[in-house]
Amino acid sequence: MPPESSPPTMTTFAAIDIGSNSCRLKIARVVVHHLKAIHEDREVTRLGASVFKSGLISPDSMAITLKALKRFQRAVQMHGVDQIRVVATAAMRDARNAEAFLTWAKAETGWQIEIISGLEEARLIHGGVVFNEPNSAGRLLLVDVGGGSCEITLSQHRRIQSTISLPLGAVRLTQEFLPNDPPDEESLARMQQFITRELRRAHARIPLTPTAAPPTVIATSGTAAALAEAHRILPEKFRRPAEKSARGTARKSTGAANNVSTAQVRQLARRLRRMNLPERIAVPGIGLRRAEIIVAGAWVYATLLESFHLTGFRYSAMGLRDGILAQMLAERDERAVTHEQFELERWESVQATAIRFGVNLRHAEPVRAHAVQLFDELAALHRLPTEYRTWLASAAVLCDTGKFLNHQGHHRHSQYIIAASEIYGFSQHQRTLVSAIARYLGKSRPQPDDRAMRNLTASDHDPVRSAVVLLRLAIALNQDRASDVVRFSARVYPKRVLLELEPGRTGAELELWSLRKEAAYFREVFGRELFVTLL
């Protein structure tokens, strides 16, 4: 798919991650097609504590989180941010009253918060690491133990091979299994059993054998940062020679000090579980709020490393926010290093979704090609934003997915499948746009109160209607799939649009008839007559 337009000089992006343990903000500016961080902020809100206990976000947690978001909003305004994306993860995925919080937050900040799946979270973390960390092009295992979930991703040559999200967050496990301080043996045993059971799912998805060369393990998030700093308190026999010189310092560790062995993680987990809260608070790198959940987090890392027969991990400060920023840059700047790979992976995900629901890509490809050609040749008429070229092409490939459920009324099913599917690189809003474009290919026309349109903003309605017309024309150009592909050219005049068809081997009469049927709706949307002729 062709590149999108470059962003203006010094474009500024912001990414906000509303996690189960903390809210984080990162603002970056585009400098010569790369991102330069200019501001970061973090607030421990413990949003997931009440969710994992009762299934509901408590009013206090809502208020604390909203207070942090308002502080972030002032920073966003101060730095003149051009584009912002706000995502929420495990706690919001689980909360039964998540919608109430989203409504409140939007009323106070104007931001549309997007609840992302565990797999999308893993993919964004992967993007944040591999495009920012040196030596990340080889075989990697990325592990992120957050507050509510644990994402594990196997990567090769900066491409995701397999990924899984497990309910092994430090806040979640602490709430469910560790009510006492220090934890008792019985509680630890129950937590260990749960972690082991969940990791079996990871082994089924990501098979790593002891005989194969182990991948480099990169760990992200606050728990990994705390372990990378806290392992310095271990006795001499658990320390590597390269790390001994770092002993006694309290600053953030870099270089060799960021490497923690599996034996060190297990020994540290055992020492931390014997400490009470004040003792854990005093450990370098842990602090007040992390001390409450560090035992569970350390136990997950120790068990995971041991079960996969890994030697240890390297901590990286990159994470979800960096992946969000990398994606925003890739979408806006075709000269960014992330652009080509991001577009390729996004398009491969569209194709994979189509195949999953029985779409014949050989039949879908001419429809996609014609839709894109119409978008390009009629640009002066439809005046759609450049990104709609991607949404239109995606809808062209996915518009028949509904036949997987039922051929009758399949466009309604297609709309639901596209909106609900996990398609890499597409936000929920973007999937909703694609699903709406694919919805109105039968007798129905977009109406503001339709289910497909209600989930869009009013400003999206006219662009969607225009894209629907283009896709209907592309489908009309592909009525007789037994023949070779019909070629066409389009010309835009002040009062009319002319489509000239070059017939295939078996002619183009069916396509001609189908296109002329679309003339009335074309005139309704674009205010011009549509004329179709055969060459």
> Which one, of 262, 331, 255, lies nearest residue 301 by Cα?
262
Quote the pLDDT of residue 428.
Answer: 87
Quote the pLDDT of residue 247.
Answer: 39
Do 500 and 410 lie in one domain? The reply is yes
Strand runs labelled E in 221-343: 259-261, 312-315
> Which one, of 494, 505, 491, 493, lies nearest residue 533 by Cα?
491
Do 99 and 194 lie in one domain? The reply is no
Do 383 and 422 lie in one domain? The reply is yes
> Which one, of 59, 82, 74, 75, lies nearest residue 11 by Cα?
82
Q: Please tell me whether residue 161 adopts helix, strand or coil conformation.
A: strand
Q: Is residue 123 part of a domain?
A: no
Task: Print the SS3 string covering 80-118.
Answer: CCCEEEEEECHHHHHCCCHHHHHHHHHHHHCCCEEECCH
pLDDT in tens, 157-177: 888 889 999 999 999 999 999
Do 295 and 433 lie in one domain? The reply is no
Residue at which a domain ends, from 328, 352, 380 = 328
Do 163 and 109 lie in one domain? The reply is no
Mean pLDDT calculated for residue range 423-430: 88
Q: Is residue 28 part of a domain?
A: yes
Quote the pLDDT of residue 246.
Answer: 37
Q: Which residue in this structure is represented by tokens 């590597």?
A: 240
Do 289 and 385 lie in one domain? The reply is no
Instruction: Report the CATH number that the domain containing residue 435 is assigned in CATH.
Output: 1.10.3210.10
Comparing 4-13, 31-40, 441-450, the range with the smallest average pLDDT is: 4-13
In this predicted structure, the answer to whether residue 249 has a pLDDT above a threshold of 80 is: no
Mean pLDDT calculated for residue range 43-71: 93
Do 284 and 158 lie in one domain? The reply is yes
Q: Which two tokens stand for residue 344?
A: 């390729």
Quote the pLDDT of residue 535.
Answer: 82
> Which one, of 114, 117, 41, 112, lies nearest residue 72 by Cα?
41
Quote the pLDDT of residue 254.
Answer: 43
pLDDT in tens, 271-302: 999 999 999 999 988 988 899 999 999 999 99
Q: Is residue 382 part of a domain?
A: yes
**Given the DSSP bridges, would you call strands 312-315 and 22-31 parallel, antiparallel or unpaired?**
unpaired
Q: Is residue 384 part of a domain?
A: yes
Q: Which residue in this structure is represented by tokens 């002066």?
A: 380
Residue at which a domain ends, from 328, 362, 387 = 328
Answer whether 87's CB lies under 8 Å from 118's CB.
Answer: no
φ, ψ (nearest 5 deg) of residue 163: -150, 155
pLDDT in tens, 366-401: 999 999 999 999 999 999 999 999 999 999 999 999
The domain containing residue 421 runs over which residues? 338-534
pLDDT band at 238 (very low <50, low <70, confident <90, very high): low
Q: Which residue in this structure is represented by tokens 């993860």?
A: 89
Do 384 and 409 lie in one domain? The reply is yes
Do 278 and 409 lie in one domain? The reply is no
Cβ neighbour number for residue 524 with a 10 Å cutoff? 11
pLDDT band at 452 (very low <50, low <70, confident <90, very high): confident
Task: State the Cα–Cα distance between residues 477 and 530, nearest whole angstrom.
Answer: 14
Do 34 and 84 lie in one domain? The reply is yes
> Which one, of 234, 291, 273, 226, lies nearest residue 252 by Cα?
226
Q: Is residue 138 part of a domain?
A: yes
**Given the DSSP bridges, would you call strands 159-166 and 113-115 parallel, antiparallel or unpaired?**
unpaired
Q: Please tell me whether residue 165 adopts helix, strand or coil conformation.
A: strand
Q: Is residue 121 part of a domain?
A: no
Q: Is residue 67 part of a domain?
A: yes
Q: Please tell me whether residue 281 adopts helix, strand or coil conformation.
A: helix
Quote the pLDDT of residue 335.
Answer: 84
Mean pLDDT calculated for residue range 199-211: 85
Give me Rg for the CA atoms of the chain: 26
Do 111 and 137 lie in one domain? The reply is no
Do 142 and 70 lie in one domain? The reply is no
**Given the DSSP bridges, would you call strands 487-492 and 496-502 parallel, antiparallel or unpaired?**
antiparallel
Instruction: Report the CATH number that the domain containing residue 246 is assigned in CATH.
Output: 3.30.420.150
Please state the domain count of the chain.
3
DSSP label at residue 8: P
Instruction: Report the CATH number that the domain containing residue 28 is assigned in CATH.
Output: 3.30.420.40
Average pLDDT, the chain: 89
**Residues in the chain, total:** 535
